[in-house]
Amino acid sequence: MNDQILTYSSEKQGIVTNTALPMDSDPEMISLRPHCLSDYIGQAEVLETLKIAIEAAKQRGEALEHVLFHGPPGLGKTTLAHIIAHEMSTKLMVTSGPAIEKGGDLIGMLTHLETGDVLFVDEIHRLPRAVEELLYPAMEDFCIDFIFDKGIHARSHRFRLKPFCLVGATTRVGLLSAPLRDRFGIFRSLDFYTPSDLERIVRRSAALLALPIENDGAAELAKRSRGTPRIVNRLLKRVRDYAQVRADGRITRKTVNAALALEGIDEMGLTPLDRRYLMTVIEYYAGGPVGIEAVAATLQEVTDTLVDLVEPFLLKTGFIIRTSSGRKATDAAYRHLKLTRA
């Protein structure tokens, strides 16, 4: 059911999604990902932590400590997992919480890992409980306990694993159980990017795609990308297509404005769903406070879609606030929508 919800949301949103879209797997999009820490832009404190931990692990000849990244989608959690494997000169195995349905699936992955290899589990908070409990000894003691036979003939066998590094990523760290969360040695939060960092990302991506881009065009793209690298790269592709067909192929502020107007993305990066959310709170509920379930019912959207995709950016920009009695629209939201309080 959750997978269907996420797919449905992805088709509706286009630019802002909770998961990677097929366009993110295009070879040219994959080539935009940095492959080493020196190429990674932003998240300075996280990078410094990883540099120290990786260098120390390499000097000792050990596997890196288990790492947990949490934060909104599109901020680089998967990219950092690839970088960790590259910097440690080991292999990377990629999976996700919903994909591991049985303990046998996890055991098969763990037994194929070599010393120092990296296992990346996206949306780790969605691991089934039985699978999660298998991870406890695997992470702590690098072993798995097998149970053979049943009843009075049951016996246990401990299988030793090769030391590995588990990299977990989650958009909802509060849903992780305390025993699993406590077994990660490195626990870092990824925050939204600053406009200056996003400008650097745009220029780097444009250079890799051989796209001529002016400074004002890069600045405008950065301003409208919701502080998210994944979104800025998607927008760059949309603007590239528009510039190729309707302009001279060069990305300027005028080109960006025209291209994103077709996508319904305004000067703050708000999508049509964002504006509908704000208008619902303001018009139907007098600016709030209102519960998220009521807003979701009015919009005919899934609550998880609003919590995961819409609210993080609106909270970051100060357009809504959460109170004990529900969500409220702020004065900034009224000004942005050119409305006045009743």
CA–CA distance, 282 with 277 (Å, rounded to integer): 9
Angle at 322 between CA 316 and CA 323, to 5 degrees: 150
Q: What are residue 26's phi and psi, to 5 degrees? A: -60, 145
Buried b (16+ CB within 10 A) or exposed e, 11-28: eebbbbbbbebeebeeee
- List active site positions: 77-78, 122, 171, 230
Tokens of 61: 């000849």
Tokens of 4: 């269907």
